[in-house]
Amino acid sequence: MKLLDGKELAGYIQERQIRQVRALRQADHIAPKLAIVQTQQDPVIDMYVRMKRAYGEEMLIDVEVHTVSQSEAGAMVERLNTDDSVHGIIVQLPLADPAGTDEIVNMIAPDKDVDGLGDTAAYVSATATAIDWLLAGYNVDLKNKKIALVGNGRLVGKPLAALWQTTGYDVSVYDDTTEDLATVLRGAQVIVTATGMPGIITEHMLQPSAVVVDAGTATENGKVVGDVAASVRDRDDLTITPEKGGVGPLTVAALFDAVIQAARKVADARDSDDLDQ
111-142 residue pLDDT tens: 999 999 999 999 999 999 999 999 999 999 99
Q: Is the pTM of this model over 0.85?
A: yes
The amino acid that residue 174 corresponds to is Y
Domains for the chain: give ranges and CATH numbers.
11-109 (3.40.50.10860), 126-248 (3.40.50.720)
Q: For 152-204, what is each residue's pLDDT tens digit?
A: 988 899 999 999 999 999 999 998 789 999 999 999 999 999 998 999 999 99
CA distance 227 to 76: 33
- 10 Å CB burial of residue 53 (0-12, 13-18, 19+) is middle
List, edge to edge, every strand of the sheet that includes 88-91. 62-67, 33-38, 88-91
Tell me, what's the pLDDT at 244? 85
58: pLDDT strictly greater than 80: yes
